[in-house]
Amino acid sequence: MSYFDQVIGQRSIITHLTTLVERGTLPHSLLLYGEQGLGKLNTAIGLASLLIGRPVFSPDGGATFLEAVSSARMTDGESEKKTEAEGLPLYIDHGEAFWLRPMKSVLKVEQWYELLTSYLGRTSESRRVVIVEDFQTANAVMANAMLKTIEEPPANVFFLIITNQIATVLPTIKSRCMLVPFGPVSDTEIATALAKEGIQGDLRQALGAGQGNPALVRELALKGSLPLLEQAMKIMEGLPKRLFFTQLSLQTEALNRDDMRELMGWLRLLARDMMALRVGAPDEVLQCPLQKARMLAILDSWRVKSLLAVERETLAAEEALRLYVKAGLVMDGVLIALRQALKEDTQ
């Protein structure tokens, strides 16, 4: 059994990392980046297991490990709400593997200081591995504190940093890490892996909409839709109908920063598909083929100029989110701009 059995695809990455470990040439700091759902966390857990020589944090993306920790905390009297909302500053597997996850959607500098003062301050002859998940949620204080550590890492400590937004990472951190880019996985690899999980049936539409992202394909195959894609579709349908601004805004007020970025991406893909449909493109070129009927129903309301505005405004919104502009304000700005574009396009 391989430590990387939970990773779908990404064979070249796994082979390269394994070779570096076997040769003893793996850098002490790695930055794993790419969109959510491509297997970065599972790869990091697999690599940590390989470095230590035993499975760490459970081989299912840490799910079993996290469930056990949550259960133990509630047994000790902690409320389920606090357990789920806050998480822990640090998850530890036998003092050899450490896992930092966002607390209330943010990586805090206090988590890093606890790791350094309580665990990494002591020297050790054995390997230790630190996984930092969702580094895009770290603020500047956390990022700079981590930078100081990876500039002069403790002996036998490896840092595996994971991010969905490489553009938010400080250049000084990137320059001190081995960059590991994760890209789309082939449809064949995804279909084979899902079949092993017991997911059968016609996966063509799910594979087409998933665009090489195993997590998205799995969710589409199981649920038939994606919540944020559905939300994007409702926005595209609602804007031409002149829905009250507050109705559209309230639909997205609970989204966090990462969800908002994903929503912007789906809006952009829908706009591109609608431009393709305007010129009679076949289904195989559509990136959201499951939404074809709904896109056709509103196609006359969206002309090319206003569809191009979707592309422009969502890219600007993603940049604002990277600069930590409040997500609600970003969404309001997009809705106002698109409503104005639709109005001008019909005059």
CA dihedral 324, 329, 331, 332 (to 10 degrees): -160
Residue 44: both structure tokens together: 């990091």
For residue 43, the model assigns a pLDDT of 95
For residue 245, the model assigns a pLDDT of 57
For residue 47, the model assigns a pLDDT of 96
Residue 161: which residues within 8 A CB-CB, separation 6 or more? 29, 30, 31, 32, 132, 135, 146, 173, 177
Give dist(CA 9, CA 254) in Å, integer.
Answer: 33
For residue 41, the model assigns a pLDDT of 94
For residue 246, the model assigns a pLDDT of 61
State which residues of the chain have pLDDT below 50. Answer: none
**159, 176 contact by CB (below 8 A):** no
The reported pTM is 0.76
For residue 250, the model assigns a pLDDT of 65
Q: Characterise 146 by phi-psi region: left (phi > 0), alpha (psi -120 to 50), beta (else).
A: alpha
For residue 225, the model assigns a pLDDT of 67
What would the pLDDT profile of 194-233 be if each residue is shown by its tens digit?
A: 888 888 777 777 887 778 889 888 888 887 767 888 889 9
For residue 1, the model assigns a pLDDT of 60
DSSP string, 51-119: HHTS--S-TTTTHHHHHHHHHHHHHTT--HHHHHHH--S-EEETTTEEEE--BTTB--HHHHHHHIIII
For residue 247, the model assigns a pLDDT of 64
